[in-house]
Structure 1
Amino acid sequence: MEPIPSYDDLVWLFEGEPTYPDAADERPADSRHGWRSPWPYMSVTFRAVRAGYEIELDIEPAYEQVRLRLRAAAGGPDLVRLDLTGVCTGGLDRAHGHELLRVDFPTMHRLPRCGCG
């Protein structure tokens, strides 16, 4: 992903530090520059509860992968699950008093040709 979402913007949006699924235990990091690889070369999971819904964002910027899940309650069944690959950029847009998490994909002229005709 280039540009990658700002780590600080994501911490601000989700109102907390992420967890690290690759860690032996999934406790939040003491510091984003601790023993774990520096952003963006790691997999992180941000979680927040808003208006009774749990929002979960798994992001791996170096692999251009994003997973977004929405549940009606913490630990409940998924209402929405998006597994996105080939994400070229991402970020946080703050406009008109709202926050918008944005992911972008390559435009059609930048997509690789499949070689089939």
Structure 2
Amino acid sequence: MVMEPVPSYDDLVCLFESEPVRRHDGEPWAYTSAPFRTTRAGYDIELDIEPGHQLVRLRLHAAGIKVIDLDLQGVRTASAEHLKGRELLRVDFPDSSPASTLWLQMKPDVAIAWSYNSTD
């Protein structure tokens, strides 16, 4: 199952300020794996996304130390957001998932927040 909607390749390139090296050059964006990388506020940030398999791997390192290493499956979609001077990566999960939305703020500072669907 493919992420719905398929994340905007151009928006992710703008957010990470670089083009990824696709693992399978020539395949449509929705069916390839693309690692996006950038450095912000002293953090090395990597997003490896496979829209065709609903997979996202998110890693943050600071001074060579692993801070976050998330292997996310069943991701509904991922997107770049620009809100009130902040640049964010948004990762959404299906409504049936206990996870709701993961936010990675990349500018002006690096921060992460994860909301969940209440089971009450």
Calculate the TM-score normalised by the size of structure 1: 0.75
Larger radius of gyration: 1
Which digits, 9 at most, give the CA deviation of each residue in 1:64-117, with x for residues without a partner? Answer: 0000000003xx2311011100001221111111111111111128xxxxxxxx
Q: Which residue is 1:92 aligned to?
A: 80
Question: CA RMSD, aligned part only?
Answer: 1.5
- The separation in 2 between residues aligned to 1:89 and 1:38, in whole angstroms, is 16
The structure with the greater share of residues assigned to strand is: 2
Within the alignment, does 1:18 sit opposite 2:42 as a pair? Answer: no
Q: Percent identity?
A: 58
Pick from 94, 105, 119: which aligns with 1:106? Answer: 94
Q: Looking at both structures, which has the greater relative contact order when contacts are Cα pairs under 8 Å and sequence separation is at least 6?
A: 1
- Give unmatched runs, 5+ long, in structure 1: 24-34, 110-117
**Could you tell me how far apart the structure 2 residues matched to 1:78 and 1:100 are?**
20
- 2:27 — aligned with what? 37
* Partner residue of 2:51 out of 55, 61, 65: 61
Unaligned runs of 5+ residues in structure 2 are: 98-120
